[in-house]
Chain A
Amino acid sequence: MGSKALLMLKGVSSMAPKNQIFNFNCKSSRSSNSSFSFSKVVFNHDKNNKGRRCSATTTQSSLEPPDVSHLAETARISLTPNEVEEFAPKIQQVIDWFGQLQDVDLHSIEPSIRADTEDSNLRDDIPETFENRESMIAAVPSYEEPYIKVPKVLNKE
């Protein structure tokens, strides 16, 4: 259930009102105000007319309630009506929490795109073969040497 909620959380941003986006960074969420900032960049990426236009300039505390059924669909999970009912208030809590964050006055704060940018942590381009490949392959539920077998793809309508 814990991981399920996490997945739902990813979906939350998609239900936010059209003009908002949340930049949540794992490190910064509960720390001091100064290390956390919302992006003030107006996103305008619209490659195929399907990219979302979002901006985070508005501070708005009342957010739309979650459409749990839609969320479940975007996460490709099916929920029973009972589950939908059960999850709705929980997700609402998360959204309300973001609503609180939205109220923080950020007008004097310089926007940052990432919270943790001091350490770049890069890797050299040196090949390293993973030693325990056999056990990974053994854990694949459906494997027929040398391929992973998956159901034939599916065009959702």
Chain B
Amino acid sequence: MMASTIFRSIQNHPLLLYPTALFRRKNGVFYCTMKSTEAQTATQEKQKPQIKNPPRTQTKTSDKFSKDYEAVIGIETHVQLNTLTKAFCGCPYNYGSPPNTSVCPICMGLPGALPVLNSKVIELAVKVGLALNSKLSLNSKFDRKQYFYPDLPKGYQISQFDIPIASGGYIDLDLPVEFGGGHRRFGITRVHMEEDAGKLLHSENESYSQEITASPLPKYCTTFYCIELYSSLLSRIYIVVFTFNQVDLNRAGVPLLEIVSEPDMRTGIEAAEYAAELQRLVRYLGVSNGNMQEGSLRCDVNVSIRPIGQAQFGTKVEIKNLNSFSSVSRAIDFEISRQVLLHSQGQGDQITQETRLWEEGAQKTVTMRKKEGLADYRYFPEPDLPGVILTKEYVNSIRDSLPELPEVKRRRYEKMGLSMQDILFLANDVNVAEFFDATIAKGADVKLAANWIMGDIAAYMKNEKLTINEIKLIPQELAELIASIKGGTISGKIGKEILFELLAKGGTVKGLIKEKDLVQIVDPVEIEKIVDKVLSENPKQLEQYRGGKTKLQGYFAGQVMKLSKGKANPGLLNKILLEKLNAQS
């Protein structure tokens, strides 16, 4: 669909077409889109797949030097708050709504519209600030950050500049066992409130980029529609365009928290775990769904390297387009290798302050834009909004309402005697943790509850693609099941059968045991009867056993279990069976 738009625009302006070779950016008159360059690179790579190995050689070469350098990593995270309405207007926000349906004069930036702050935004910001052990500003304000981009209808973003709602603080986390484990504390610089921009949609099929190019100014100059809409004085902007982009303003004005870390991380894993812990935190707090794919949690990382022992930071590079924790980790490790390699080749000065994009397909970072020459946002206090005043009572009431946070939960589980692997699994998902807590609150054995949840229940959830809140099993019944096995009412094997019944259909352990007559047979007389029956039905095997083939004990045990429909108590069964087998020999 976008392709046809492009095609039409080419037809309409045949004079715009020049061979790419003639197109040099240094002219200064031309503007080139980032996306089109990307498409070009991707195409070139497809054509020459045989030169796709340089990253590996790079890692090899730099390995020798990497031990002499350390990386310094800081992360800026944008968390989309799960309010019902936008930050400054009553438009509802639902991810996936039809484009441009949730808009009003305020979030479209129409003249004369005035923003009014959603009180929920403050509440959620305070929650996060407290959870990050930050110092809250009882008196803060909003500022305007001015920049021009088609997804920003007002021409400025309402943000917080010099006085963020929260500053300082830290976050604690435990590294996964498979990465060596260990506890880490990373500093938080600040947390501030701001609004999101709209969505600018780039076309998927931009194959035109190799043929098409821009025309010189000002002949084919096109006006900047989006902004022209709101301010006629911008109609003389000198911009050269290839074709059109599409804008969806549903997301414009949606509240965000920007969380800035201290440059405390040293490896890709540490950075990814920091991001994962932030996700855990916002989910525990219920302030955001923290979904990276939907863009509800977005990470931009800053990476620099320096010789070990040097206090001064190296030149930092920002990486964007990180859509998962593993891409955070891999992008950083790639970038560290790239920078180490440049240093090792004596080309450290080639590391420039720039923004690079992580290309998931190629598993590498590429230049997006060099240091924006004069990015002057011309911040000034937002005149349309009053200051943000918090009272101590308000902050205290929110502090009192905070749930148990991931770090506290992990330390509590540790004291219960669970292994770190179990702790990280259970505390990773707040719903799983709540299920576990509810199960042990009903008196279930801690280790057994952990094993059931991490084993059969987790496997079932994975197979059926269900969350723990969607399964029919409730914590009380898991506790009952564990107690029934432990108390000998049912065997472990029957317990498993009951579990899958409970997971899929619900019901109670007691009800199922009764309904299916699953109570374990612990009466020796009854077991003896079954054993006798099995022995008399298998005279040949009995003869063989008594002739020395004692391995057949297992066969008999299986037959007895089968006849009892799995209900015979295994201990009693074996004891009685052995007695009978060896009795008349």
Q: Which residue numbers of A lie inside 8 Å of B, CB to CB?
A: 3-4, 7, 10-11, 13-14, 21-26, 41, 43-45, 47-52, 74, 76-78, 113-114, 116-117, 119-130, 133, 136-137, 139-142, 144, 146-157
Contact = CB atoms under 8 A, between A and B. Distances in A.
13 contacts: A24-B380, A41-B163, A121-B386, A126-B84, A127-B90, A148-B247, A148-B249, A149-B244, A150-B224, A150-B225, A150-B226, A151-B245, A154-B240
B225 A117 contact: no
B246 A14 contact: no
B380 A23 contact: yes
Given A119-B386, A152-B242, A157 B141 contact: no
Given A10-B146, A117-B387, A142-B244, 10 more contacts: A10-B380, A24-B380, A41-B162, A51-B161, A113-B163, A116-B387, A122-B116, A146-B98, A150-B200, A155-B33
A56 to B, nearest CB: 11
Nearest to A116: B386
B32 A123 contact: no
Interface in B140-197: 140-141, 146, 148-150, 161-163
Given A113-B387, A154-B33, A10 B378 contact: yes
Nearest to B122: A122
Contact of B231 (A3, A122, A129, A157): A3
A143 to B, nearest CB: 8
A133 B31 contact: no
B19 interface: no
Given A76-B234, A126-B90, A151-B239, A113 B139 contact: yes
A74 B89 CA distance: 28
B100 to A, nearest CB: 6
Interface stretch (B103-111, B401-409, B516-524, B572-580): B103-111
Chain A residues touching B, majority SS: loop
A145 B10 CA distance: 21
A154 B234 contact: no
Which of A26, A114, A146 has the most B CB atoms < 10 Å from its CB? A114
A117 B378 CA distance: 23
B248 A78 contact: no
Contact of A13 (B234, B244, B353, B380): B380
B118 A125 contact: yes
Interface in B211-239: 222-229, 231, 233-234, 236-239
A153 B34 contact: yes
B365 to A, nearest CB: 17
Interface of B: 25, 28, 31-35, 76, 83-85, 89-92, 98-105, 108, 110, 116-120, 122, 139-141, 146, 148-150, 161-163, 200-201, 222-229, 231, 233-234, 236-249, 260, 318, 353, 369, 372, 374-381, 383, 386-389
Contacts of A11: 378
Nearest to A21: B380
B91 A149 contact: no
Given A154-B239, A156-B31, A7 B224 contact: no
A123 B233 contact: no
A14 B238 CA distance: 22
A39 B104 CA distance: 34
B25 to A, nearest CB: 6
Contacts of B245: 149-153
Contacts of B103: 130, 133, 136
Nearest to B83: A125
Given A125-B118, A149-B246, A157 B31 contact: yes
Given A7-B233, A77-B237, A149-B244, A25 B383 contact: yes
Ranked 3 nearest A-B pairs via Cβ = A128-B90, A130-B104, A147-B246
A155 B369 contact: yes
B378 A114 contact: no
Contacts of B249: 148
Contacts of A150: 150, 200, 224-226, 244-247
B119 A124 contact: yes
A31 to B, nearest CB: 15
B378 A74 contact: yes
Which of B76, B149, B236, B387 has the most A CB atoms < 10 Å from its CB? B387
B451 to A, nearest CB: 42
B116 to A, nearest CB: 5
B386 A117 contact: yes
Which of A24, A137, A155 has the most B CB atoms < 10 Å from its CB? A155
A48 B242 CA distance: 31
B298 to A, nearest CB: 16
Contacts of A51: 161, 377
B315 to A, nearest CB: 10
Contacts of A125: 83-85, 118-120
A134 to B, nearest CB: 11
Contacts of B248: 146-148
Contacts of B91: 127-130
Contacts of B84: 125-127
A155 B91 CA distance: 31
A151 B103 CA distance: 21
A32 to B, nearest CB: 19
A134 B236 CA distance: 28
A155 B139 CA distance: 38
A58 B421 CA distance: 58
Given A151-B245, A157-B31, A14 B378 contact: yes
Contacts of B139: 113, 117
Contacts of A152: 33, 35, 241-245
Contacts of A127: 84-85, 90-92
Contacts of A117: 139, 386-387, 389
A151 B234 contact: no
B105 A130 contact: yes
A22 B149 CA distance: 25
Nearest to B31: A154
